[in-house]
Protein backbone atom coordinates (compact mmCIF):
# COMPACT_ATOMS: atom_id res chain seq x y z
CA UNK A 1 0.00 0.00 0.00
CA UNK A 2 1.17 3.52 -0.83
CA UNK A 3 0.51 6.51 1.42
CA UNK A 4 1.62 10.12 1.25
CA UNK A 5 1.79 13.06 3.63
CA UNK A 6 1.91 16.49 2.02
CA UNK A 7 3.30 19.30 4.17
CA UNK A 8 4.38 22.90 3.66
CA UNK A 9 8.13 22.82 4.12
CA UNK A 10 11.37 21.21 5.18
CA UNK A 11 10.83 21.65 8.93
CA UNK A 12 7.47 19.87 8.72
CA UNK A 13 9.00 17.03 6.70
CA UNK A 14 11.83 16.63 9.21
CA UNK A 15 9.43 16.32 12.13
CA UNK A 16 7.18 13.88 10.33
CA UNK A 17 10.08 11.63 9.40
CA UNK A 18 11.55 11.91 12.91
CA UNK A 19 8.28 10.92 14.57
CA UNK A 20 7.45 8.04 12.26
CA UNK A 21 10.96 6.59 12.27
CA UNK A 22 11.15 6.93 16.05
CA UNK A 23 7.72 5.55 16.95
CA UNK A 24 6.61 3.43 13.98
CA UNK A 25 9.92 2.01 12.71
CA UNK A 26 9.62 3.21 9.13
CA UNK A 27 12.83 2.78 7.12
CA UNK A 28 14.18 5.44 4.76
CA UNK A 29 14.63 4.20 1.17
CA UNK A 30 15.89 5.74 -2.07
CA UNK A 31 16.94 4.99 -5.64
CA UNK A 32 15.47 1.92 -7.29
CA UNK A 33 13.61 0.95 -4.11
CA UNK A 34 11.07 3.78 -4.36
CA UNK A 35 7.73 2.78 -5.97
CA UNK A 36 6.82 6.15 -7.55
CA UNK A 37 8.81 9.27 -8.38
CA UNK A 38 7.33 12.31 -6.67
CA UNK A 39 6.90 15.16 -9.24
CA UNK A 40 8.92 17.80 -7.39
CA UNK A 41 8.91 21.18 -9.15
CA UNK A 42 11.83 22.86 -7.38
CA UNK A 43 14.34 20.69 -5.53
CA UNK A 44 15.83 23.73 -3.77
CA UNK A 45 12.56 24.53 -1.97
CA UNK A 46 10.94 21.10 -1.80
CA UNK A 47 11.81 17.83 -0.14
CA UNK A 48 10.33 14.44 -1.00
CA UNK A 49 11.44 11.21 0.66
CA UNK A 50 10.20 7.64 0.74
CA UNK A 51 9.97 5.22 3.68
CA UNK A 52 9.11 1.52 3.91
CA UNK A 53 7.65 -0.72 6.59
CA UNK A 54 6.86 -4.29 5.64
CA UNK A 55 4.89 -4.15 2.39
CA UNK A 56 3.81 -0.55 2.94
CA UNK A 57 5.40 2.57 1.46
CA UNK A 58 5.10 6.15 2.69
CA UNK A 59 6.12 9.37 0.94
CA UNK A 60 6.59 12.64 2.82
CA UNK A 61 6.51 15.63 0.49
CA UNK A 62 7.42 19.11 1.73
CA UNK A 63 6.06 21.15 -1.14
CA UNK A 64 7.83 24.45 -0.46
CA UNK A 65 4.90 26.51 0.78
CA UNK A 66 1.12 26.32 1.01
CA UNK A 67 0.75 27.87 -2.45
CA UNK A 68 2.08 24.57 -3.85
CA UNK A 69 -0.52 22.38 -2.11
CA UNK A 70 -2.83 22.54 -5.15
CA UNK A 71 -0.15 21.30 -7.54
CA UNK A 72 0.80 18.47 -5.17
CA UNK A 73 -2.76 17.23 -4.65
CA UNK A 74 -3.52 17.45 -8.38
CA UNK A 75 -0.39 15.40 -9.14
CA UNK A 76 -1.39 12.72 -6.63
CA UNK A 77 -4.95 12.61 -7.98
CA UNK A 78 -3.67 12.21 -11.53
CA UNK A 79 -1.73 9.11 -10.49
CA UNK A 80 -4.72 7.70 -8.63
CA UNK A 81 -7.09 8.26 -11.55
CA UNK A 82 -4.93 5.95 -13.67
CA UNK A 83 -6.03 3.10 -11.40
CA UNK A 84 -2.59 1.47 -11.43
CA UNK A 85 -2.32 -0.39 -8.11
CA UNK A 86 1.47 -0.08 -8.04
CA UNK A 87 1.18 3.73 -8.14
CA UNK A 88 -2.08 4.25 -6.24
CA UNK A 89 -2.01 6.26 -3.01
CA UNK A 90 -4.56 4.68 -0.66
CA UNK A 91 -3.99 7.26 2.08
CA UNK A 92 -3.40 10.99 1.56
CA UNK A 93 -2.79 13.34 4.49
CA UNK A 94 -2.05 17.06 4.65
CA UNK A 95 -0.11 18.77 7.44
CA UNK A 96 -0.88 22.51 7.30
CA UNK A 97 -0.14 25.62 9.32
CA UNK A 98 -3.22 27.40 10.67
CA UNK A 99 -1.53 30.79 10.19
CA UNK A 100 -4.05 33.54 11.07
CA UNK A 101 -7.12 31.56 10.01
CA UNK A 102 -9.67 29.86 12.19
CA UNK A 103 -9.39 26.06 12.09
CA UNK A 104 -12.66 25.74 10.14
CA UNK A 105 -11.50 28.27 7.55
CA UNK A 106 -8.22 26.43 7.02
CA UNK A 107 -9.95 23.07 6.66
CA UNK A 108 -12.40 24.50 4.12
CA UNK A 109 -9.38 25.77 2.18
CA UNK A 110 -7.90 22.25 2.22
CA UNK A 111 -11.22 20.70 1.13
CA UNK A 112 -11.08 22.77 -2.05
CA UNK A 113 -7.75 21.25 -3.06
CA UNK A 114 -9.46 18.00 -4.04
CA UNK A 115 -11.38 17.48 -7.29
CA UNK A 116 -13.59 14.53 -6.30
CA UNK A 117 -17.17 14.79 -7.57
CA UNK A 118 -18.55 14.34 -4.07
CA UNK A 119 -18.07 17.08 -1.49
CA UNK A 120 -15.05 16.67 0.78
CA UNK A 121 -15.42 17.38 4.50
CA UNK A 122 -12.05 16.95 6.17
CA UNK A 123 -11.92 16.80 9.97
CA UNK A 124 -8.82 17.88 11.85
CA UNK A 125 -6.90 14.88 13.28
CA UNK A 126 -9.28 12.31 11.74
CA UNK A 127 -9.40 10.06 8.68
CA UNK A 128 -12.32 10.00 6.25
CA UNK A 129 -12.98 7.71 3.26
CA UNK A 130 -13.86 9.06 -0.19
CA UNK A 131 -15.06 7.02 -3.17
CA UNK A 132 -14.52 7.86 -6.85
CA UNK A 133 -14.24 6.33 -10.32
CA UNK A 134 -10.89 6.27 -12.09
CA UNK A 135 -10.34 7.02 -15.80
CA UNK A 136 -11.56 3.52 -16.65
CA UNK A 137 -14.76 3.98 -14.60
CA UNK A 138 -13.50 1.50 -12.01
CA UNK A 139 -14.66 2.12 -8.45
CA UNK A 140 -11.86 3.27 -6.12
CA UNK A 141 -11.63 4.62 -2.60
CA UNK A 142 -9.02 6.62 -0.75
CA UNK A 143 -8.59 7.69 2.88
CA UNK A 144 -7.96 11.40 3.52
CA UNK A 145 -6.84 13.26 6.63
CA UNK A 146 -5.53 16.63 7.73
CA UNK A 147 -3.56 17.92 10.69
CA UNK A 148 -3.82 21.69 11.15
CA UNK A 149 -1.40 23.17 13.69
CA UNK A 150 -1.24 24.71 16.19
CA UNK A 151 -4.40 23.49 17.93
CA UNK A 152 -4.66 26.62 20.06
CA UNK A 153 -4.47 30.08 18.53
CA UNK A 154 -2.90 31.21 15.25
CA UNK A 155 0.57 30.25 14.04
CA UNK A 156 2.60 27.58 12.32
CA UNK A 157 4.52 24.39 13.07
CA UNK A 158 7.00 26.33 15.20
CA UNK A 159 4.09 27.67 17.29
CA UNK A 160 2.86 24.13 17.88
CA UNK A 161 6.32 22.91 18.89
CA UNK A 162 6.77 25.81 21.31
CA UNK A 163 3.41 24.90 22.83
CA UNK A 164 4.63 21.32 23.15
CA UNK A 165 7.80 22.43 24.95
CA UNK A 166 5.76 24.74 27.21
CA UNK A 167 4.28 21.67 28.87
CA UNK A 168 7.39 21.73 31.06
CA UNK A 169 7.30 24.61 33.59
CA UNK A 170 10.99 25.49 33.20
CA UNK A 171 10.69 25.43 29.41
CA UNK A 172 7.64 27.66 29.64
CA UNK A 173 9.57 30.36 31.50
CA UNK A 174 12.39 30.17 28.97
CA UNK A 175 9.98 30.49 26.04
CA UNK A 176 8.25 33.51 27.57
CA UNK A 177 11.60 35.24 28.12
CA UNK A 178 12.75 34.53 24.56
CA UNK A 179 9.48 35.83 23.12
CA UNK A 180 9.78 39.04 25.10
CA UNK A 181 13.32 39.55 23.85
CA UNK A 182 12.54 38.83 20.20
CA UNK A 183 9.36 40.90 20.11
CA UNK A 184 10.75 43.94 21.91
CA UNK A 185 14.44 44.27 21.09
CA UNK A 186 15.32 42.69 17.75
CA UNK A 187 15.56 45.21 14.91
CA UNK A 188 13.45 44.90 11.76
CA UNK A 189 16.75 44.99 9.93
CA UNK A 190 17.05 41.29 10.76
CA UNK A 191 13.46 40.10 11.23
CA UNK A 192 11.09 41.63 8.73
CA UNK A 193 7.77 40.04 9.73
CA UNK A 194 6.03 37.94 12.37
CA UNK A 195 6.81 34.70 10.51
CA UNK A 196 10.54 35.38 10.77
CA UNK A 197 10.17 36.37 14.42
CA UNK A 198 8.44 33.07 15.16
CA UNK A 199 11.26 31.13 13.51
CA UNK A 200 13.79 33.16 15.52
CA UNK A 201 11.92 32.43 18.76
CA UNK A 202 11.92 28.71 18.06
CA UNK A 203 15.58 28.61 17.02
CA UNK A 204 16.65 30.65 20.06
CA UNK A 205 14.78 28.39 22.48
CA UNK A 206 16.40 25.28 21.00
CA UNK A 207 19.83 26.94 21.03
CA UNK A 208 19.52 27.63 24.74
CA UNK A 209 18.19 24.15 25.51
CA UNK A 210 20.85 22.42 23.38
CA UNK A 211 23.80 24.85 23.00
CA UNK A 212 26.25 22.12 22.04
CA UNK A 213 24.25 21.46 18.86
CA UNK A 214 23.95 25.03 17.59
CA UNK A 215 26.41 24.47 14.73
CA UNK A 216 25.03 21.12 13.60
CA UNK A 217 22.85 20.76 10.51
CA UNK A 218 19.28 21.89 11.12
CA UNK A 219 17.74 18.43 10.70
CA UNK A 220 20.18 16.93 13.21
CA UNK A 221 19.50 19.83 15.56
CA UNK A 222 15.74 19.33 15.39
CA UNK A 223 16.03 15.58 15.85
CA UNK A 224 18.06 16.07 19.05
CA UNK A 225 14.88 16.94 20.98
CA UNK A 226 12.93 13.89 22.27
CA UNK A 227 9.64 15.20 20.88
CA UNK A 228 7.89 11.86 21.22
CA UNK A 229 8.11 12.18 25.01
CA UNK A 230 5.78 15.20 25.02
CA UNK A 231 2.08 14.30 25.32
CA UNK A 232 0.80 17.13 23.13
CA UNK A 233 3.17 16.15 20.33
CA UNK A 234 1.91 12.56 20.52
CA UNK A 235 -1.72 13.67 20.55
CA UNK A 236 -1.18 15.63 17.35
CA UNK A 237 1.04 13.32 15.36
CA UNK A 238 -0.58 10.01 16.31
CA UNK A 239 -2.93 10.61 13.38
CA UNK A 240 -0.10 9.37 11.19
CA UNK A 241 0.32 6.16 13.16
CA UNK A 242 -2.71 4.85 11.25
CA UNK A 243 -0.75 4.85 8.00
Q: pLDDT value at position 6?
A: 98
The stretch 27-47 carries a mean pLDDT of 93
Mean pLDDT for 75-94 is: 93
The confidence band for 98, taking pLDDT boundaries of 50, 70 and 90, is very high
Sign of the C-alpha dihedral, residues 147, 149, 99, 219? negative
Q: How far apart are CA 25 and CA 27, in angstroms?
A: 6
Query: Cα 44 to the chain's mean position, in Å?
Result: 18
Summary mean pLDDT of the chain:
90
From the number of C-beta atoms within 10 Å of its C-beta (0-12, 13-18, 19+), residue 188 rates as exposed
| Domains within the chain, CATH numbers bracketed | 2-149 (3.40.50.10620), 157-237 (no CATH)
> What is residue 213's predicted lDDT score, i.e. its pLDDT?
78
pLDDT at 41 over 70: yes
Residue 150 preceded by cis peptide, ω within 30: yes
The per-residue pLDDT for 228 is 77
User: What are the beta bridge partners of residue 37?
Assistant: none
Average pLDDT of 143-167?
Answer: 92
The mean pLDDT of 38-49, rounded to a whole number, is 92
What sign has the CA pseudo-torsion 126, 67, 14, 36? positive
**Residue 117 pLDDT > 70:** no
Q: What is the pLDDT at residue 53?
A: 96
211 in helix, strand or coil?
helix
Query: Mean pLDDT across the stretch 107-117?
Result: 90
Alpha-helical (H) ranges within the chain are 10-24, 69-81, 103-111, 157-165, 169-185, 194-209, 218-223, 231-237
For β-strands 56-62 and 47-53, DSSP reports them as antiparallel
Nearest to 22 by CA among 195, 158, 225, 171: 225
- Per-residue pLDDT averaged across 131-137, rounded? 86
pTM: 0.89
Residues 6+ away with beta carbon under 8 Å from 187: none
Q: Is the pLDDT of residue 63 over 90?
A: yes
Number of helices (H), then strands (E), belonging to the chain: the values are: 8, 7
At 19, the pLDDT band (50, 70, 90 cuts) reads confident
Structure-model confidence comparison of residues 184 and 147, the more confident one = 147
Amino acid sequence: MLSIIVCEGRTDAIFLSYYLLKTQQWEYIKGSKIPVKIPVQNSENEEANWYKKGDNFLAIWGVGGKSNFKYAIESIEELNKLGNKSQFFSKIAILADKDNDEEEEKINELNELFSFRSEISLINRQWITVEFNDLYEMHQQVDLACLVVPFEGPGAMESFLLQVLSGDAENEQLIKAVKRFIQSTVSERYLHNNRQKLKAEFATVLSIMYPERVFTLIDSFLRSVPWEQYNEFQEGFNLFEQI
